[in-house]
Amino acid sequence: MSRRLAAIVIATLLAGPALAEEDPAHVEVTTTRILQSDTLSALDRAQTLVTRGLAREKLSRPKDAYDDFTYALNLHALPAGDIARARFDRGVVLEEMNRLDDAVADYTAAINLEQRFAAAYNNRANVYRRQGRLDDATRDYNASLNFGNAQPEYPLYGLGQISEALGRMDAARGYYQQALAANPHFDLAAQRIGVMNTPGRTDLAVPLRPPLRPTTTANVTLKPPAVPPAVPAAPRHTSRLGPAPIQLGAFHDEAAASAEWNKIVARMGSLFDGHSPRILPLDQGTRRIYRLQTGPFEHPRDVCDKVEAAGFGCFPARDAESAQAALASSP
């Protein structure tokens, strides 16, 4: 192997998933070149395959990513921790390929190898929820939280979706508020609260969470699954908050957001005089949503009251801050 190629190997193996996240097309080219060498050790080849698999998954090529993860695992050269993450990564692409039972098997294998693997519990819960196994999903979402998931808004959101499916709207609202308290910019939870606050508004589908990538987990002891403590409903904003934009929904494409704006303006008349729509994309893993916002308004809550009375969804953009304050003040 040339000295330059050896340097590329070292840099790629050290960077691993981070490289695949930043520039997957370049990583695929680089790792493919590395894999052409016949002097790689089995371990180096396996780790390079995992890196290329992550890049290919990011490039929306799950079948190619699956092949790379499977080849890497079949080399039987990875240490236990890397095997757990490779099984997790393969579970992600299996889920994307709609091979749900196989995805569960890989997530379970990852958990068996790394029992505090919070992201694997979260992802297995996502699959269980899709399969209608709500008790199993609830158990796994709680395990993900108990094992210190670094992104707790996702399992909390999943618990909220299960509560909605079971008709437990107060519990669902509490979970969504906790998700917003964990991440005030988590628009999916704010979206559900806005829909729940609008009588008769059921047209916005509850989206499935894309799979989470593993993160460092806290060294904590598993607790029995339990319903998190109730969180007070987010207080309604008043004019003392001052000017703030409002959000009128989140949609799967820009056209749907534009159509919603046109319907609202046609119905509400002069309320939005002087205000233009802003359609803001937000990436959620492998999905992208488009938030429809406008404003700012001096009294955003008052504007939302009028919009909601007309049958549309609306919430001030600062509702997330309110939910965070509510959680902080709860016993």
Q: How many domains does the chain have?
A: 2
Residue-wise pLDDT for 22-80, tens only, equals: 688 888 999 999 999 888 899 999 999 999 999 999 999 999 999 999 999 999 999 98
Q: What is the pLDDT of residue 251?
A: 67
- 144-172 pLDDT tens trace: 998 888 889 999 999 999 988 888 888 88
Judge whether residue 202 has pLDDT over 60.
Answer: no
310, part of any domain: yes
- Dump the DSSP string for 183-237: -TT-HHHHHHHHHHTSTT---S--PPPPPPPP------------PPPP-PPPPPP
Peptide bond connecting 229 to the previous residue in cis, omega within 30 degrees of 0: no
Question: Of 66, 91, 115, which marks where a domain is finished?
Answer: 115
Would you state the pLDDT for residue 316?
Answer: 66
This prediction has a pTM of 0.60
Lowest mean pLDDT among 27-31, 55-59, 194-198, 201-205: 201-205
How far apart CA 73 and CA 139 sit, in angstroms, is 29
Query: Does 219 score more than 60 pLDDT?
Result: no
- Of 59, 80, 115, the position where a domain reaches its end is 115
Average pLDDT of the chain, as a whole number: 76
The β-bridge partners of 278 are: 293
* 56 and 71 Cβ atoms separated by less than 8 Å: no
In this predicted structure, the answer to whether residue 113 has a pLDDT above a threshold of 50 is yes
CB 156 within 8 A of CB 206: no
Give domain status of residue 153, yes or no.
no
Residue 188 lies in a domain: no
State mean pLDDT over 249-267. 80
Q: How far is it, in rounded angstroms, from Cα 110 to Cα 205?
A: 31
CATH of the domain at 260: 3.30.70.1070
pLDDT at 212 over 80: no
pLDDT tops 50 at residue 325: no
Please report which helix (H) or strand (E) contains residue 147, including its range: none
Domain assignment present for residue 171? The answer is: no
Q: Examine the pLDDT at 204 and tell me if it is beyond 60.
A: no
pLDDT tier for residue 331 given thresholds of 50, 70 and 90: very low
Task: Select from 115, 150, 176 the last residue of a domain.
Answer: 115
Q: What percent of the chain clears pLDDT 70, i.e. is strictly above it?
A: 70
| Residue 307 forms part of a structural domain | yes
Of residues 229 and 264, more confidently modeled: 264
- In contact, 50 and 19? CB cutoff 8 Å: no
Site of tokens 């997530």? 107
Which range marks the domain in which residue 71 is found?
1-115
Amino acid present at 210: P
Residue 236 has pLDDT above 70, yes or no: no
CATH of the domain at 106: 1.25.40.10
**Secondary structure (DSSP) of 14-54:** HHTHHHHHH-HHHHHHHHHHHHT-S---HHHHHHHHHHHHH
Residue 277 maps to a domain: yes
Whether residue 103 is contained in a domain is answered as yes
Residue 68 lies in a domain: yes
Q: Is residue 4 predicted with pLDDT exceeding 60?
A: no
